[in-house]
Amino acid sequence: MALLGVDIGGTKIAVGIADDQGNLLDQDRFMVATTGSPGQALDRVAEMARALSARRQDPLRHIGIGSPGPFHDGTLDNPANLPGWHGVDLARSLSQRLGCPATLQNDATAAAIGEWMFGRGQHTQHLAYITVSTGVGAGFVLNGQPYGGPHGNAAEIGHIVLDPNGPQCNCGLTGCLESMASGTAMGRVGNQRRSESAYLSAEITAGTVIRAEDVIAGWHNGDAVCTEMVDDVARHLGHGLGILVNLVNPQRIVLGGGVMHAGEPLLEKIRHWTAVYSMPTLYRETELTLSGLGADTGLVGAVAVAMVGRRG
């Protein structure tokens, strides 16, 4: 019997089939913009799932879904990244279409479960996964169980207010971690400080919008202004993670997402600031590491959700 993982994102939806051990065997994906209503998108997911299952001659046993939230009683509750999907019950809709049980988790919790079962979170009981990408999100596995709170919306580390006088955040608050340390924030500051930076003003064609990758490239090139911007991001992330270390004291914090492709040198800066902003005893008990799942994190996470869901 096969497991199905469904990784729902604002831009694309990936569907993957896995064996009983959670090994991803085959996958397919489509762009959300190429479908009309949520119902049509879910029809397409079901079609792909049937095709994958038929190709492997293996019926589906359980569906795991990772999706951006927030949720209320299992339905999407005005999700910022999925406009038009308010009120959709993803687990029920896919379960009905495919005739097997389905389990839903928010995407960051799904990634945390994926890292816990198959990635860098293995052999831990208390794990936090942090994604630093367009936004900043987190997911928890605590006491060997996924933790999402009553509706699956817990772990919103990106919207901890670090500076009440800071930039406006998409969530309505000001000075959230996400508004200062996401890839989006890096790009915004890069554009604001472009003329100060020798690298950004010389290497990036005038009129092109600066992205986080450009700031990171400038840092790797030794540009002083880009280095300052990366240091600021590391300090803000360390501030947020310091709070997390003091509150939750996870054994391991796994960091993933596009910005973390900057790798070990960025992680080293984040470790430095996390130590500054947390209690020494607790920090010593927490290991910070990079994600081990790469581009398939979302899908592996969704499959891991199916494995946990199957156990009931």
Nearest approach in angstroms of CB 230 to Zn ion is 21
Binding mask 19-58 for Zn ion (x = CB under 5 A): ----------------------------------------
> Which residue's CB is nearer to Zn ion, number 56 or number 159?
159
- Contact, 67 vs 119, CB < 8 A? no
Nearest-CA neighbor of 3 among 13, 17, 23?
17
Q: Which positions from 169 to 188 touch Zn ion by CB under 5 A, shown as an x/- string?
A: x-x-x--x------------
* Sequence-separated (6 or more) residues with CB below 8 Å from residue 7: 13, 14, 15, 16, 66, 107, 110, 298, 299, 301, 302
Three-state DSSP at 174 gives strand
Min dist CB 176 to Zn ion, Å, is 3
Measured from the CB atom, the residue of 162 and 304 that comes closer to Zn ion is: 162
Structure tokens belonging to residue 267? 């992680």
Distance in Å, CB of 181 to Zn ion, minimum: 11
Of 62 and 236, nearer to Zn ion (C-beta) is 236
No. of H helices and E strands in the chain? 11, 12
- Least distance CB 136 / Zn ion (angstroms): 9
Q: How far is the CB of 239 from Zn ion (least distance, A)?
A: 14
Give the chain's end-to-end CA distance (angstroms, integer).
Answer: 16
Residue 257: CA atoms inside 13 Å, Cβ hemisphere, count?
A: 24
The residue among 103 and 131 lying less far from Zn ion, judged by its C-beta, is 131
In the complex, what is the shortest distance from the CB of residue 113 to Zn ion, in angstroms, rounded to a whole number? 24
Q: What is the amino acid identity at position 165?
A: N
Please list the alpha-helical segments (H only) found in 127-263: 177-181, 183-192, 198-203, 212-220, 224-248
Q: Which of residues 92-151 bind Zn ion (CB under 5 A)?
A: none
Contacting range for Zn ion; rule: CB under 5 A; set: 80-88, 107-115, 158-166, 204-212: 158-166
What does the angle CA 272 – CA 275 – CA 279 come to, to the nearest 5 degrees?
175
Residue from 61, 159, 211, 261 in contact with Zn ion (CB under 5 A):
159
How many residues bind to Zn ion according to rule CB under 5 A?
5
The binding site for Zn ion (CB under 5 A) comprises 159, 169, 171, 173, 176
